Amino acid sequence: MHTATPHAAFPAAAPGDAPIALEAQYGAHNYHPLPVVLTRGAGAYLFDDAGRRYLDMMSAYSAVSFGHSHPVLVRALTEQAGRLAVTSRAFHTDQLGPFLQRLSRMTGMARALPMNSGAEAVETAIKAARKWAYKVKRVPEGQAQILVAEGNFAGRTTTIVGFSSEAQYRDGFGPFAPGFASVPFGDAPALEAAITPHTAAFIVEPIQGEAGIVVPPAGYLKAVREICNRHNVLMICDEVQTGLGRTGALLACDHEGVKPDGLTLGKALGGGLLPVSAFLARDDVMAQFTPGDHGSTFGGNPLAAAVGHAALSLLEREQLVQRAADQGAYLMARLRALAHPAITEVRGRGLLVGVVIDPRVASARQVCEALMHEGVLTKDTHHTVVRLAPPLVIEREQIDVAVQALARVLRSLA
């Protein structure tokens, strides 16, 4: 009988290192986490297996917008879990309808289709846009085109990475689905030039997160809206990361008074407790789905609906959208006041901020590792940008702690 033995690259670890060693030995190496083992979270804080406290300045890529273990959301989760968690969509439940109503009314969209991950919401948007193009716009079958912005990040499914402009996300995973073309982000004339009679939709992040917290020029989204109107093209805003208050508005597209034809939400919609996402759209777009066209065993489950509904209520009750605007302005001002030569730019909106580090001084990863030792946790993107996107419940005193920690790290690198 064959007996499995540990891989030579992963010798037995000391007890304190066991979780990291076990993850390395038995898990796929598709992430490069900071070397910290977290066991607990509360509000804007995280705690490791030695009891050390850290300020969370990333909030799980905006999924923990309400802070860790918010008592209102934990109560909604546990009470619903004690009654009914999953039934599939083969039956109605008492939780889904009220959740969809509140979500649709808050965002101003006609209907919502619940899913689980953000990538699933984007995949749903793609299916809706294509069928709308064939049934409503009368694009010849199989010829619908969807435009995307360069630098986009919408998830990791094979369709989505197929239209990514990041080489690593595509390497080794083809062949990819046809029917997509990229245009420069923030360039409205380039979008209009790329549109053809077969163009179904333009999918765009109002602020690009994974690309490095890239904010488009003022007026860009409004120009995109006008272009899409002229050419009968669906404008679909990917707000999986920016939605639900992160940028100081309920939706990032609200900053320019733009209403999209389709909208994807996720991350914060699950209250930092479980995966909840949704595709929302106007009536004629959502009407393309008929029974059997699309679905998900877990999408819209009563547990997710109860938590999502509670999260939306909490967002309004605690005025977290305005809080993100106020605290974000304070964070940006404090960061810019550092005026350190290692910082080449501070950009973002609300509590979605990117600090660009001069690669001649240090990599953003080095900065994040040093911040960890200062009691602040966050992650880099694209090797040059340090994300600062804390829970929306963060206090100004906590922002001061994070900025002071960054100042100490930068001084040590100089």
Burial of 337 (0-12, 13-18, 19+ CB in 10 A): exposed
Q: Is 135 a catalytic residue?
A: no
Q: What percent of the chain has pLDDT over 70?
A: 96
Choosing from 238, 254, 261, 380, the catalytic residue is 238
Catalytic pick from 153, 163, 202, 279?
Answer: 153
Q: What is the pLDDT of residue 193?
A: 98
Q: How far is CA 147 from CA 126, 130, 157, 163, 247, in A?
A: 11, 12, 17, 9, 24
Strands (E), 289-350: 343-349
What's residue 382's pLDDT?
87
Query: What is the location of CATH 3.40.640.10 in the chain?
Result: 71-317
Residues of the chain with CATH 3.90.1150.10: 15-69+319-413
**pTM for the complete prediction?**
0.94
- CA-angle at 303, arms to 299 and 307, nearest 5°: 100
- Position 291, amino acid: P
CB neighbours of residue 58 within 10 Å: 20
Longest C-alpha distance within the chain, in Å? Answer: 69
pLDDT bucket at 2, cuts 50 / 70 / 90: very low
Which residue among the candidates 56, 261, 267, 289 is catalytic per the annotation?
267
- Residue 276: CA count within 13 A, CB half-sphere: 30
6 pLDDT more than 90: no
Residue 173 falls in the annotated catalytic set: no
Contact 305, 374 (CB under 8 A): no
Phi-psi region of 212 (alpha: psi -120 to 50; beta: other; left: phi over 0): left
267 exposure class (CB count in 10 Å sphere: 0-12, 13-18, 19+): buried
Give pLDDT tens digits for 284-297: 999 999 999 999 99
Residue 343 has which token pair? 């910082």
Tokens of 352: 């979605």
Pick from 5-19, 37-51, 103-117, 172-186: least confident: 5-19
Q: How far is CA 313 from the centre of its chain?
A: 20
The hierarchical CATH code for the domain 71-317 is 3.40.640.10
Q: Which amino acid makes up residue 307? A: V
Rounded (5°) CA angle 347-349-352: 85
- CA nearest to 204, candidates 125, 138, 136: 125
- Residues 352-367 have pLDDT tens digits of 999 999 999 999 999 9
By C-alpha distance, which of 316, 395, 298, 391 is closest to 63? 391
- Kindly tell me if the per-residue pLDDT of 1 is higher than 70: no
Is 94 labeled as catalytic in the residue annotation?
Answer: no
CATH topology of domain 15-69+319-413: Aspartate Aminotransferase, domain 1 (3.90.1150)
Cis status, amide bond into 35, omega within 30 of 0: no
Query: Is 158's pLDDT higher than 50?
Result: yes
Distance CA 153, CA 116 (A): 17
Average pLDDT over residues 213-236: 98
Query: Based on the number of CB atoms within 10 Å of its own CB, is 146 exposed (0-12), middle (13-18) or buried (19 or more)?
Result: buried
- Which runs of consecutive H residues, i.e. helices, occur in 27-156? 71-81, 96-107, 118-132
Q: 26-81: per-residue pLDDT in tens?
A: 999 999 999 999 999 999 999 999 999 999 999 999 999 999 999 999 999 999 99
